[in-house]
Amino acid sequence: MRAMSASSAIPGGRRRRRRARVVIAALLLVGGVAPSAHAAVPFKAIASAGPLTSIAVGNELSCQVSHIGDARFEVFPPSVAPGDCGTFVFASGTLFSPAFSLHGGSAAAVGPATPFTPVSQSEVTGAGTSASPYRVTTVVTADAAGLRLTEVDTYVVGQESYRTDVTIANAGAAPQAGILYRAADCYLQESDVNYGFVDPAHQAPGCSTNPNNTPPARIEQWFPITPGAQFTEDDFVNVWQQIAAHVPFPNTCQCAARIDNGAGLSWSFTLAPGASATYSHFTTFSPTGLAGAPPAAPPAVFGANGIVQAPPNRRCVSRRHFRIRVRSVPGIRVIDAVIFVNNRRVQTLHRRRIGAFVDLRGLPRGTFSVRIVALASDGRTLRGTRVYHTCATRRRGGRPPI
């Protein structure tokens, strides 16, 4: 663990920084800005039932997030959207960043920086589901470096994480090397002073209510998807200074220090002329300290790619006696399953004997449901129902399902 910087250790230095923030807040209040005030930069917000009720993305790659459990934003300033959060690129001797000077208050001091040039920003699309997440696509350029950035931010309703994919394209005639940063100034659980934590196996830093997120409690975390990331969790001033120094993040965490903190990820890149590369991560906001990437969407139960092999139900099935098999699929190993017919338990199956016969022979014309409840090895419960129709108008012998 790296020692605290001098400015963080000296109370006077902390008071001066805190006073600067108070001045910003006072100016906001004097100007009549409500707690939900917005920056002067255009932005699109993914609004939903949450738990991330709003994800704001500026047309210059800044960001801000609301969580259903908090009355204020999750990134400083807590009353401004977008806030001190976003994408940065250092290339060709220039740092490119969001236009923080146009925000309705900011403490992001990253030194001399050139704002990205906005090109386009889509409307919010998608249905908020795993198959069709909410999506905002933002395109900017870093003109002096000949780079074009396309950022896609997506959210699936019900998850505590949203995903960011940043594609950097080299539109110049020469190779281009640089550093991509994704960072923010935490305002965790309506508090400006918190601890930190890191998942070293995944280079995933965060801000936390408790040191090292022990015991687990409220967190904000940056979880890389693209390999090769470096990370930081530190006093927010130091996070911005690390970006201002134009160096990759140092892979350090002031995890046991209760400080006014921020965190982020960085990737070093080299692009040939005409080449591009994409860098992706999740940003997680969990009131229970559940870190890491969001769980994968469960597979379908019935259907061609589902865990259940059963006859189709497009035609009636009188005099049918068929077998149902419950199978494992990539990423899901089924260990137990219970089969119900018309809500009556037919059989409980374990391990390799995950299969059963369903007998609809001789039943009167009607509708019969086959329901499966399966337990996967990772603890998830998968449920699905398929409805069958019998053709017979009267009973012709046989027996009903038990």
The answer to whether residue 154 sits within a structural domain is: yes
CA 91 → CA 148, 171, 173, 179, distances in Å? 12, 13, 15, 7
pLDDT tens for residues 283-341? 999 999 989 888 766 667 777 777 777 777 777 765 566 777 777 776 677 778 888 88
The answer to whether residue 77 sits within a structural domain is: yes
Domain count, the chain: 2
Helix, strand and coil content of the chain, in percent to the nearest 5, comes to: 10, 45, 45
pLDDT of 373 strictly over 50: yes
Q: Are residues 213 and 151 in the same domain?
A: yes
Q: Are residues 349 and 261 in the same domain?
A: no
Domain of residue 317, CATH code: 2.60.40.10
pLDDT of 273 strictly over 80: yes
Domain of residue 253, CATH code: 2.70.98.40
Q: What is the pLDDT of residue 93?
A: 97
Q: What are the helix (H) ranges across 31-108? A: none
What is the DSSP track for 209-268? SSGGG-S---EEEEEESSTT-EEEEEEHHHHHHHHHTT----SEE-TT--BSEEEEEEEE
Q: Are residues 231 and 347 in the same domain?
A: no
Q: Are residues 326 and 183 in the same domain?
A: no
Domain with 183 in it: 6-286
The answer to whether residue 84 sits within a structural domain is: yes
Q: Give the Cα separation of 290 and 186 in Å (integer).
A: 17
Q: Which residues does 99 contact at the CB level (< 8 Å), separation at least 6?
A: 41, 58, 60, 62, 115, 116
Cis peptide before 77 (omega within 30 of 0): yes
Q: Are residues 155 and 262 in the same domain?
A: yes
More confident residue, 114 or 347: 114
Residue 24 pLDDT level (bands cut at 50, 70, 90): very low
Question: What is the average pLDDT across 367-391?
Answer: 78
Question: What is the average pLDDT across 39-59?
Answer: 94
What is the DSSP track for 346-399? EEEEETT--EEEEE-TTPPSEEEEEEEEEEETTS-EEEEEEEEEE--SS--SS-
Is 253:277 a contact under the CB 8 Å cutoff?
A: no
The rounded mean pLDDT for the chain is 84
Question: What is the average pLDDT across 364-383?
Answer: 77
Q: What is the pLDDT of residue 338?
A: 83
pLDDT tens for residues 162-210? 999 999 999 999 999 999 999 999 999 789 999 999 999 999 999 999 9
Q: What is the pLDDT of residue 197?
A: 98
Q: Are residues 214 and 363 in the same domain?
A: no
